[in-house]
Amino acid sequence: MVNEISYPLISLKWGGAAGDGLQSTGLLMQKYFNSLGYSVFGIPGTQSTIRGGHVWQHLQVAITRIDHFDEELDVLFALNKQTLDVHFNNVKNNGIIITNSDIVNTDEFNIKIVEKEIHLVSLPLTTNARNIESRSLILANTIAMGVFLKLFNLPIEQYHEILKKRFAKNSKILEYNLTALQIGFNYNTEQDVSRRLGPSNGKLDNIVINGNQMIALGAAASGLKFLAQYPITPASSILTYLAMNAAKFGIIVRQAEDELAAINMIIGASFGGARAMTASSGPGISLMAEAFGYASMTETPIVVVNSMRAGPSTGIPTKMEQADLLSMISLSHGESPRAIFAPRNIEECFELTVKAFNVADKYQIPVIILSDFALSEQTKNIPEVDLNIKINRGKIWQKPSSEFPKFKRFQFTEDGISPRAFPPTPEANYILVGAEHDEESHSLSGNRCGLPNSWTIREKMIEKRFKKVKKLEEELDGPEFYGSNDADYTIICWGSTQGAVNEAVDRLNKSTKYSWNSLSFSNLFPIPIQLTKEKLQQIKYSIMFEINYTNQFEQLLYLYVDWKVNNRIKHLNGETSTPNLIIKKIFQLEEFKNE
């Protein structure tokens, strides 16, 4: 061997039909690299297809921390022909394609393969898999993995450990996989270059986790006691992770008959004193609208996770969008206070879920955690999170006190926050009601409706409910700059696009003569007005990047902070945004045409 190539980062894609076992192989690979101390970042490309179709798993492995992925590929695993058709053009010059010669004919790509100096490893994966076990075609993945390990001079023993853990309960399947891995590893790939991943210096005991699992873990650490949820992409893995751990965590986890039931169930559980949560995506969230308003009106703390997918209606269930923001701000009829948090990365999925529960209890409001497909289904390795977190349950009334000698559920107070009591607390019996009510929660919709005394109470109650969120603003976090504060250009974003935007900022700072930074928001609503203004004032030229057509966050800034962006870019095809895409969109703007 003559040459040696050292990679600081490998971008790879694993493509095939649904049911080929791509996602589970992708996860095993991430756990493998994690155990070697590398940084991993994965995102699935899924369809609403259980078997067949075209799905992929994108994975980046790096020697330093990463929070984004790139379209350009170092390695493409093509388990079927469609993978080549769709992704061939993304393979870099000198890249690698590992493919299944039993079913993939590469003839039409031969010229380009030569032109791009792509190293093609074409081997009969199906035949080899069949030779090990006639029914387990999924073994093709493991064979390909063996080839990959060999190509990059990676240690095979560590992958044995990963397989042993994965198939600990089934020794036969483990044996098949170990055999398959060795077959791939022994395959003569005829490469003339020695490829290596640069040395890792990360921790060896990080965890590989996705956004939904982090939200679930954050909820459990916060003292979640009741989860009711109806399955929906991309929120289902919150339900399945917590169902799997229900007994261990002491959380009652129930699958509801629909989302209407789910949110009303958690309202009942919260009335009883339990921290309660539901999770869904657009279609299910729309169904929850009425009950969401009830929770706000009755000042019942609940946490609702909306993992956004592309809408409206069924939309594109397995793709991301940030188009629910305005509907979350106005979810339900009338005017009902709430808080909305949009995690910007996997770490914040935990932190903001903890915050969501404390804010819900303290201010007695419904709180929305606004994730999206790209964040919920994204996997990354991070250090173990600290599960010992601060829990604030707010004003709980247990017996007469000097401040609250007699229990009145909606007592008018300085900050608008009244005491809560749970059955069977004696002397606190009251009826929770969605009709406008007085301090003792007596309905004003019946015989007292329209009487002058009710007018006064109505106005005071509206004031009281909104006073709470005014107070909440004091403990909200403002947006954060990435890069120097006085940059020439600022890209503004919110939620899960932060990683790609920040990487774009780094690249722009290197490749252009201007300085760039980003300003990202996670505490979306109510907008922390003062903190937001302070940051916005420092911006010289702003470019808003959000994944919706109607400039929803831009509208918010204009409405609440009286501030206008200079320019905007957007990306609406449903795929997770990449740094180069963001850069490309920026240079398509009129202002940058000549750059």
Partner 1 sequence: MNKDELEKIKFKGDVKPNWCPGCGDYGLLSATTSVLSDLGYQPNETVIISGIGCSSSFPHWTSAYGIHMIHGRALPAAYGLHMVNPSLKIIVAGGDGDGYGIGVGHFIHTARRNINIVYMVMNNQIYGLTLGQSSPSSQQGHITLTTPSGVDERPINPISLALGAGATFVARGFSGDTKHLRYLIERALNHKGFSFIDVLSPCVTFNKLNTFQWFKQRVYKLEDINFDKSNLSDAFSRSLEWGEKIPTGIFYETTIPTLDETDPVARNKIVVKEKLGLDNIDRNSIFDYFR
Q: Nearer to partner 1 by C-beta: 189 or 454?
A: 454
Q: How far is the CB of 202 from partner 1 (least distance, A)?
A: 13
Shortest Å, Cβ 142 to partner 1: 19
Between 233 and 245, CB nearer to partner 1: 245
Q: Which residue number, 223 or 337, has a Cβ lying nearer to partner 1?
A: 223
As measured in angstroms, the least distance from the Cβ of 86 to partner 1 is 30
Number of neighbouring beta carbons within 10 Å of residue 244:
12
Identify the CA nearest to 238 among candidates 259, 257, 258, 218: 218
Min CB(572)–partner 1 separation in Å: 33
What is the C-alpha separation between 325 and 560, in angstroms, rounded?
Answer: 14
> How, if at all, do strands 516-521 and 480-482 pair?
antiparallel
Write the CA distances from 473 to 326, 338, 354, 454, integer angstroms: 19, 11, 17, 29
Please tell me the distance from the alpha carbon of residue 359 to that of residue 470, in angstroms, as a whole number. Answer: 13
- For partner 1, the closer CB: 97 or 360: 360
Q: How far is the CB of 507 from partner 1 (least distance, A)?
A: 30
Tokens of residue 127, six digits: 């035949």
Q: Which is nearer to partner 1, 173 or 261 (CB)?
A: 261
For residue 384, count CB atoms less than 10 angstroms from its CB and return exposed for 0-12, middle for 13-18, buried for 19 or more: exposed
CB of 66 to partner 1, least distance (A): 18
Residue 266 vs 349, nearer CB to partner 1: 266
Task: Measure the CA–CA gap between 595 and 281, rounded to whole angstroms.
Answer: 40
E strands in 148-298: 193-197, 207-210, 224-229, 252-255, 275-280
Minimum CB distance to partner 1 smaller for 145 or for 262? 262
Q: 375, 346 in Cβ contact below 8 A?
A: yes
First-to-final CA distance of the chain:
42
CA distance 591 to 241: 47
To partner 1, the closest distance from the beta carbon of 324 in angstroms equals: 22
Nearer to partner 1, 31 or 87 (CB): 31
Preceding peptide of 312 cis, ω within 30°:
yes
Count of all residues that appear for the chain in the document: 595
Least distance CB 246 / partner 1 (angstroms): 6
Nearer to partner 1, 97 or 276 (CB): 276
CA dihedral 120, 125, 127, 131 (to 10 degrees): 130
The least CB distance from residue 218 to partner 1, in Å, is 10
